[in-house]
Amino acid sequence: MIRIIGIAAGAFFTLSVLWAFVTGAYTAITEPAPETAEHAFHKHPRELHLQSDGPFGTWNLQQLQRGYQVYKEVCSACHSLKFVAMRDLEQLGYSEAEVKAEAASWTVPGVDPDTGEATTRSGEPTDYFPSPYPNEVAAAAANNNAVPPDLSLMTKARHDGSAYVYSLLTGFQEQPEKLLEEFPQAKTPAGLHYNPYFANLNLAMAPPLTMDGQVTYADGTEATIDQMAQDVAAFLTWTAEPSLPKRKQTGWPVLGFLLFATILAYLAKQQIWARVKPDKNRQDD
């Protein structure tokens, strides 16, 4: 009796799930959801070609240094880089002395050795890049109740991460008149900024790159808004995965070895079974 009740209960739940699926699919086909402004006007990231792209990609150290300069002089006012140590800058081509000098230019939290009270001090190569705010409450209060995200892994956390960062930085604009005509309720609220590359089209971050020449590059590269956006996107690609080229360089020998091992195994199999001839007169029972 218990077995019959169990089978009946299982059949009931199975049929309920199947019925819900069928009715849901029918509703989705016959009554599609109304189009929203986000669906109609959201854009996919623009194309961005970096030297690190592709199976043989490598870092463009000059571009990474320029991107770090953009982060330091522009982005660090709001965004942290808490998973990156200052000593890692040596990977960008800086010497040990340059890394020490660069670290000393940052102010990081510290502790007074005499009183034990919280204080600040000059950074050291072993320090991680500091947050511009003491806590999330202060960060939200300074940014229209939106906490600026940490940028260490941003290009890994977003689809088409490098291109997304580049597109977002260069995508701030006025709302299209067509959008306001079709979706008047989607007008950008006060304090927010329209950007078609952002998921819901409006974000609290104001355009960080506002004019050409906002940063003066040490290598003489012309610092247009587009160039600065590309450079900082390349830099954040490095912060998210600094071992990217090394991983690619390691992958090719591994693939070569696996291919060689596969061929060797096949030849060994052929050699071992070469003397074994099938018995044509053998009949299966």
**Residue pair 86/128 in contact by the 8 Å Cβ criterion:** yes
Q: How confident is the model at residue 33 (pLDDT cuts 50, 70, 90)?
A: low
Residue 49 assigned ligand-binding role: no
**pTM value?**
0.82
What is the pLDDT, as a whole number, of residue 116? Answer: 80
Share of the chain above pLDDT 70, in %: 95
Tokens of 166: 């580049």
Residue 192 has pLDDT above 90, yes or no: yes
Residue 261: phi, psi to the nearest 5? -65, -35
d(CA 99, CA 108): 15
Tell the residue number behind the tokens 């998921």, with chain if given. Answer: 199
Segment 167-171 shows an average pLDDT of 97
CB 264 within 8 A of CB 73: no
Terminal-residue alpha carbon distance, the chain? 46
Tell me: pLDDT of 31 over 90. Answer: no
DSSP type of residue 75:
G
Q: In whole angstroms, what is the distance from residue 52 CA to residue 59 CA?
A: 5
Of 284 and 193, the structure prediction assigns the larger pLDDT to 193
Average pLDDT over residues 266-281: 77
- Superfamily for domain range 38-84+129-244: Cytochrome c-like domain (1.10.760.10)
Q: Taking the mean position of all CA atoms in its chain, how far away is CA 81?
A: 13
Query: Is 193 a known ligand-binding residue?
Result: no
Question: In this predicted model, what pLDDT tens digit does every residue of 78-112 receive, in sequence order?
Answer: 999 999 999 999 999 999 999 999 999 999 998 88
205 marked among binding-site residues = yes
Number of C-alpha atoms within 13 angstroms, CB side, residue 156?
Answer: 10
